[in-house]
Each structure stands twice: as C-alpha cells, then as structure tokens.
Structure 1
Amino acid sequence: ITVSEYDDLRRDVSAMYNKVTLGQLQKITPHLRWKWLLDQIFQEDFSEDEEVVLLATDYMRQVSQLIRSTPHRILHNYLVWRVVVVLSEHLSPPFREALHELAREMEGSDKPQELARVCLGQANRHFGMALGALFVHEHFSAASKAKVQQLVEDIKYILGQRLEELDWMDAQTKAAARAKLQYMMVMVGYPDFLLKPEAVDKEYEFEVHEKTYFKNILNSIRFSIQLSVKKIRQEVDKSTWLLPPQALNAYYLPNKNQMVFPAGILQPTLYDPDFPQSLNYGGIGTIIGHELTHGYDDWGGQYDRSGNLLHWWTEASYSRFLHKAECIVRLYDNFTVYNQRVNGKHTLGENIADMGGLKLAYYAYQKWVREHGPEHPLHRLKYTHNQLFFIAFAQNWCIKRRSQSIYLQVLTDKHAPEHYRVLGSVSQFEEFGRAFHCPRDSPMNPVHKCSVW
C-alpha cells in the first residue's frame, strides 16, 4: 500500500517498509474499511491474517484521523473531484482549458497542445507496445541491439574493476556488491514478443470503437486495472517492461535488480553505430553508467542481488558510504535557482548516479581506445576526443525550459536542474579538468572533490 511521505524520509526504504496483517492495519487506521475494500477489488474473501506492506505508518494513521473528522459531503466531493481531474484531459473543452490554465501557472505553458499531438500522446499511452512494434521495425536493428548490449557489458566490466579498487569498502561488502553486479538483468531495445503480431494483440484485449473516444479510454483503463488485479499472489515477472520501446528514457528497478534501455533512447544524438566512440560513450554510455550506479546509490543500495530489501553492507562500509555521500549533499545544497536552493538530500540518488555514470563511461572509453587505438580527429573541430566525450555528456542534458518549470523542478523533482547535473558531475571528476586544462583550485577543478564510485 503506497502513500506519500516526506521525500527525505522516503529515501530510507527499510524504515518505511512495514509488513502488517490486515487486522493490524485496521487497528492502525480504524476509520478505513480495508478488508471490505480489498474483497471488492480482488473478488476474494481476505483473512484478517493476510499480510500487506504498509509504507509511511504515521502518515496513514493521520489520514484515518482526517477521514474521521471530515464531513461525508466533503469526502464525497473530493472523491468525485479526483475522478474528474484524472479524466479531465479526455473531456470537453471547458475541462481541458482549466487543465491548461493550471499548467500555465505551474509550468509557464503558453498555449495548449495541438490536437494531433494530444491524439498521438494518448495513442502512445494506451497502445504503447503496438506503436513500439512499428517503431523498432523502422528505427532499431538487431545489429544496433547487439552493439548496445556489448557497450553495457564494457561499462559493467569497469564497474567491477572500480569495486575492487575502492579503499573505503571492505572485502565482505565488495563480495556482495560484485554478486549484485553479476546478477543484474539488462534489457535492451524491446521485448522479444514485439516481433510477433499475435503476441502484441494479446496486450490489448479490450473493445475499441471508432466513434466513442471517451469509452475507449475507460475500456483501456479498466483493462489495465484488471491485468494488475490478476497478478495478486503470482510470482513477479522480471521480464515485464514498464516503458514501450519508443520511450526516450531508461531506468533501473532496485526491487528487480534490472536495467532497461528502450530503443527510443538508443538514437542520435545519444547513440549511433556510426558515431565516433567518444560521442557514444559520452552520450548513451554515461546514461548506462548512471543506471548501473543506481544499484549502489542511497536508494538502490538497500536492495540485494535478487531485488530483496536486505542490508548487505557491513556497518563500517555503510558508514563510510554515507560520509562520502554527505559531501555530495553539501555540494548540491550550495546550488541555487531563482533564490531557491537545490535539495542535496532529495536529489542525492540521481547525483550519485550522474557522477558514477560519468566516471564508468569515461574509463570504459579509455579501455576501448587502448584496445582499438586512438580515434582520428574530426575535421574542422578543435576538440580532442576526450573533450568530445564530456561535450556529449553535457549535450545529454541540454534543454530549453521556462522559469516556472525550473522552479517547480527544484521544489519537487528528485533530479537537480540539468545544468547543475552537468556542472556538479564534471567539476568533481579529475579527468575533466585534465581534458580541458582547468587550473587547479578553479571552480571546475577544485582541490577537494566529492567521490563515491
């Protein structure tokens, strides 16, 4: 049962994770009818001894009290309002215009999306894998998939080396860290079933009618919920993809110890099989390294090789890890946007992954150069390939955003603003200062640097 909690508290998964019985949950939150609710959703007769996972116990206790003290009419209105908010983008113009007004105030959006983009977005959301099958057929070859898989293995090899070289991690913890790396599942490009039309059809076994758009949306949502309900008591399927292949994203799941790199992110400017390797390692390579490092940040490091929530560190190694991580917290705490400080603790996991990913990809590129020889200089460019590596990394985070959107990001996002993701990472890496000849003790090459991985 997932609920909201203060973000700095949510970083400690073991403190948030509480396994209780339905009977115990009912005592913690006496004004919520949990057994009745779960019986209705899953069409089962649950026992009071049924175990569930409760996150943020204190928060749920307060929710129960709030429900008890709130008039029924207000509760009913709130529930109706929540349904309308979720579905308002699919309703008539007055509802969509109200949504746009909210987005304009919060993010600075100056005009609504064109209808064609809205339709494409909804098709992508509700038929993502079907569109993905078309995408990979046109834009991602089996040869590209094999090359990216090799790139992942090259960067994993460097992480294995780095683990051996760490002076702050003891032998017992290193052994557990190596095991986690060995068991890490990597999924690249697309799921294999996408190449079989009949298998794709099974992903969308609900009715679609050409003239009933809103009903189609409801059918899709209902079908998705039904699939989720059927998963109760089933073994976790670690081959499931959370994103379709065309997604311009990548992710690491600590509870599966799994990395996923959809075909959508394996495109120029992040990756191209014909690019110089300096650009590929600086582009997609740093993102691969980023996701790898997530397995060992303040969040992912709480899960073991099988994705179980298990403290596999010795106390001495974990204490030294936290000490090194605190340096990164202080570094990002000193960054400000529109007089608002970046929250170094809230963004810690992403910052650790950015820094670690940059190093892993750079050292993997240097290994490639040693094995294949230096790359030829690019004509009419004054940059070396080592410099191009860092330029490609910075290009990953080149973005145009309105001031309202950046300010909202600083307040709510677990990622630091993009330019600080670049400056924070490269300024703490000795090889960047060497590549660009930054003077010692300059802003981009400080004497004292933060380093975890």
Structure 2
Amino acid sequence: IAPPVVLLPDAQYMLNKSEDDELLQAYRKYMHTITQLLGAPQNEETSRQLEEILQFGIALANVTYNDDQLDSDPEKLYNRMTIKELQKISPAIDWLSFIKYTFQGVESVTITEKENLIIFEPDLMADLSELLLNTDEELVKNYMIWKFVAMFVGFLSEDFRQADDDFQSVLSGAKDSQPKWRTCITDTDEALGFALGALFVKESFQGGSKEIAAEMVEKVRSAFKRNLPDLDWMDEETRTAAKQKANAILDLIGFPNFILDEEKLDKFYEEVDINATAYFRNSVEVLRFMYQSQVEGLRKATDRGVWEMNPATVNAYYQPIKNEIVFPAGILQAPFYDRDFPKSLNFGGIGVVMGHEITHAFDDKGRGYDKYGNLNQWWNNETIERFEEQTQCFVEQYSKYKVDNKNVEGRKTLGENIADNGGLKSAFLAYEEWVHENGNEKALPGVGLTSKQLFFLGFAQVWCSFSTPEEALLHIMTDHHSPPRFSYRTLSNSEDFAREFNVLQTPQ
C-alpha cells in the first residue's frame, strides 16, 4: 500500500501556494474545461464543487508530502502488517472489502483479515484516515470521480486532449502539441509494446547487436568486479559477497525471443479484445488486461527473465527484486550504440549505461537486496557506515547544483548519481581492457582526439538535451535522476577523464 498520487505531478506544486498561483490557476481552468466538455453546467454550483475538489487535493498533498526521502531506504518502506492491523490504524477505509474486491477475479486467491500487506508509510495511512473521516463523503466521491476522469482524458477526442495540452504547456513550458503520429505510436507502444516491438526488431534492429551487447555487458561486469579491491571502505567478506551478486545479475538484451514467434505472441495477447475502430474502448481494454495480469501474480514466485520494458523503448533498468539488468533494442542504436561505431564510442555510450545499471545493484537502494533479490542486509554495519560517509560527498556535490534557484535534491538523486559515476568508471576500465586485448583503434580523421578521449566524447554526446525552465523544474521535483545538464559532472569526479585530457582535477 503506497501513498496516493496527488492531482499535480508532485505535492510541492500544491503546498504553500497563493490563490493566484499560475499553475493552480491553470489547473482550475483545465478542470472547468473538461467538465464543460462532459456536459456539466458552467455555473456557481459547478465552480464550488470543482474548487472543493482542488482544495481537498491540496489537503491530501499536505498529508502525503514527505521530505525525508524514505524511498531511498527500502527497509524503511518494508512495513509488514495484516489487513486487521491496518484497519486499526486507518479505519476510514474498509480494507478487507476493498482488497477482496481488487482480487475478486482471481480464483486461486482467498483474502482474509490475516492477509499480510506491505505498508510503505504507516504514519501516512493514519493521517490519511483522519483526513477522510473529517471530510464530507460527497466530496471524497467527487474527488475520486475527477481522478478517474482525468486519467482517461488522453484517450478522448481532440478537444479534451487540447485542454490537457494547454495545461501541460503551463506545467512544462512546451508550446507545441505532440504530432498525432507520435501520439499514436507512443500509445500503441504502451498498450501493445511486445507486438509493436516485434515489428521494430524485424525492421530496424541490427543483426548481431544482441550478441555484441552481451559481450560488452560481460566486459563491463568484469571491470566492475576488478575495481572492488580498490574500495578500501569495503570489508573482505562484503567484497566477496559483492562479487557473487555481480556474477548473479541476469542480463536481458534486445527483446524477449517469444515476440518473433507469431503463435506465442498471439497467445500472449489472446485475452485482449482489440477493435480497429474503437480507440477509447481499446485503451480501457488494455488497462483491464494489464490490471488482471498484475493481480494474478499474487501467490506466484518471482519469475526472473520476464521483461518489464518494451523492446522499442530507449531506456534500460535494474530490477533489485530480480537482480537483473535489461537493455531493450530501442537503446541499442545511435547515439548509444552502433555495430559500425568505433568501440570507444560504444563503450562511452551504451557501455556507460551498462555500468550504470550494474552499479545500481550496489547503490543506496540496491545494496539492500542480496543476489537472490531478497531484502536482506548482506553488508556488515561498519561497511554500511563507511559507505554512507563516502556517498555523503555526492549528496553535498549535487545539492549545490541549481536550476532557476531550485537546488537539485542530492539525497533523492543519490542512487542515480552513484550509478552515473560508477558506470563511467566501469565502462572506461572495460574499454581499456578491450584495447589491451585488441590494440589501439585507428584515430578518426579530422577529429584530433585519441580513442580514449573519444570514449568520453561518446559519453557526453548521449546527454545532449534541451529543456524549458518549467520542464527542468518539473524534472527536479519529480525525477530521481539529476537533470541531464548535470550528468557531465561525473567527469569532474573522474581521474581517468582528467588524465586523458591532461586537465587539473578539482577534488570533489
């Protein structure tokens, strides 16, 4: 049971704001436009109810906001209690009835008040219950109806989506709406990602890339392990266990093989009823399918190797409860990777991403899970204490960076910053090992850089980006990654970069 999602992307957008705050005013306009399109009369009563919904949303944001960064410590979020125990601290909701209803379509599951739950923030659940008990029931119903409506606005006709675009332009500063072709592809990928991924792989994925990427992962993993003896803050027992965990990381690359088998792909989607002329209905149907797939997972063992990201996605991830890293076909293309690129650019691009994901297994969150994916303290207390002392410098370093007078939250972004710095180091060591085995690459004509300097150029190139001030602020408030403009700061921490470019390194 996790904290509820508030009306705006982050609770901070709703706290301590004046009545004429630009974003809140834009959201009021959005609410009025949507309800008008749905046929509600635009009168004082409608305005009153919408304002009550917004004010309740602000009250909910006050209850849910927590600046202690609890999500950086999985052990603090792992609060186990039964439904009966939750009912005592949060009596406003009939939890047994609610959870029974949630799993009513799963024949093999019987829910009783003795069912164990994981409650992320028990104190919050008590505060939430108090808020609900002191709020008019009709208002709570209206709030839930509005949340339901807002969730489906993107699936409605153009006038609804235009209202959403108008609000998003205030939120993110984006002035132009996304072209319809991109909307269609994005929605199809989110809804039928493996089916679309099969088309993408057949059409655009370079042959042999999967095998080459697998070899690169092994080189980066090997480089990561070779660096472990240099960590003087880590004790020998933990170091041995860290090597074992690194060896146990499962890597999934490119795409799941079943998507290229039409019979297996059809089998995967056999419960999804798609109508070629019913976009809204299809969107709801896919949500139902995804929801049913999730609830049917209760009581089943964790299945390593099941992809949680679509093949065409330009991203990657580490999953701590499975101890696995995943690199979809979408990220195995320029500028991250190309089979015809110099190895220096590939290691500086996708190689750093590989090192980044491997390092996540040992960052401030990943270190809480053992090689089997169980939440388990496998570091001794002294090593944990020294680790926290070492990582405090990252917290302080990144907290100094600002976007329009808003500081990056060094504590919230710690895991990603550790992974950025560790990934760069491991990938460079892996490239050096490749050079040792294969010899120096030929210099690119007209560039005037060595192959090792090209490695860092490849790294920097993938982080080129542009964002509006509003979008940069949104990133700081909602994302666990530091803004891309600060990703290059890993170079200021890199002795390898300083040596290859012969620059004076300022201690960080």
TM (norm. structure 2) is: 0.85
The equivalent residue for 2:66 is 6
Displacement of 1:101? 1.5
In structure 2, what is the Cα distance between the partners aligned to 1:156 and 1:395?
23
Paired positions, count: 442
Displacement of 1:135? 1.0
The equivalent residue for 1:72 is 137
User: Conserved in 1, the CA contact under 8 Å of 2:368 and 2:375?
Assistant: yes
Percent identical across equivalent pairs?
A: 39
The equivalent residue for 2:157 is 92
Displacement of 1:80? 0.7
In structure 2, what is the Cα distance between the partners aligned to 1:299 and 1:80?
36
The counterpart of 2:402, out of the listed 336, 343, 347, is 336
Displacement of 1:229? 1.7
The equivalent residue for 1:381 is 447
The equivalent residue for 1:432 is 497
The equivalent residue for 1:409 is 475
User: Conserved in 1, the CA contact under 8 Å of 2:403 and 2:469?
Assistant: no
Displacement of 1:139? 2.1
Moved more, 118-127 or 292-301: 118-127
In structure 2, what is the Cα distance between the partners aligned to 1:203 and 1:98?
36
Deviations along 1:213-253, one digit per CA (max 9) or x if unpaired, are 21111111111111112111111122211111110000001
Displacement of 1:312? 0.8
Displacement of 1:45? 4.4
The equivalent residue for 1:237 is 303
Equivalent residue letter for 2:306:
T
Deviations along 1:74-109, one digit per CA (max 9) or x if unpaired, are 111111111111100111333212211221011011
Matched, 1:150 2:215: yes
Equivalent residue letter for 1:167:
D
Which runs of no fewer than 5 residues in structure 2 stay unpaired? 5-64
In structure 2, what is the Cα distance between the partners aligned to 1:141 and 1:272?
8
Moved more, 56-65 or 91-100: 91-100
Deviations along 1:322-343, one digit per CA (max 9) or x if unpaired, are 0010011111111111111111
Displacement of 1:138? 1.9
Equivalent residue letter for 2:445:
H
The equivalent residue for 2:80 is 19
Q: Where do 1:292-303 residues align within 5 Å?
A: 292-303=358-369
Moved more, 200-209 or 262-271: 200-209
Matched, 1:165 2:245: no
In structure 2, what is the Cα distance between the partners aligned to 1:314 and 1:236?
27
In structure 2, what is the Cα distance between the partners aligned to 1:220 and 1:291?
30
**SS of aligned partner of 2:311:** coil
In structure 2, what is the Cα distance between the partners aligned to 1:309 and 1:45?
26
In structure 2, what is the Cα distance between the partners aligned to 1:232 and 1:195?
28
In structure 2, what is the Cα distance between the partners aligned to 1:114 and 1:277?
36
The counterpart of 2:393, out of the listed 327, 342, 356, is 327
**SS of aligned partner of 1:330:** helix
Displacement of 1:142? 5.0
The equivalent residue for 2:260 is 195
Displacement of 1:209? 1.6
Displacement of 1:133? 0.6
Moved more, 2-11 or 136-145: 2-11
The counterpart of 2:379, out of the listed 300, 313, 321, is 313
TM (norm. structure 1) is: 0.95
Displacement of 1:111? 2.0
In structure 1, what is the Cα distance between the partners aligned to 2:115 and 2:395?
40
Which runs of no fewer than 5 residues in structure 1 stay unpaired? none
**SS of aligned partner of 1:427:** helix
Displacement of 1:411? 2.3
**SS of aligned partner of 1:377:** coil
Deviations along 1:270-291, one digit per CA (max 9) or x if unpaired, are 1111111110100100000000
The equivalent residue for 2:249 is 184
The equivalent residue for 1:111 is 176
Moved more, 146-155 or 48-57: 48-57
In structure 2, what is the Cα distance between the partners aligned to 1:280 and 1:121?
27
The equivalent residue for 1:224 is 290
The counterpart of 2:414, out of the listed 348, 365, 377, is 348
Matched, 1:131 2:196: yes
User: Conserved in 1, the CA contact under 8 Å of 2:345 and 2:454?
Assistant: yes
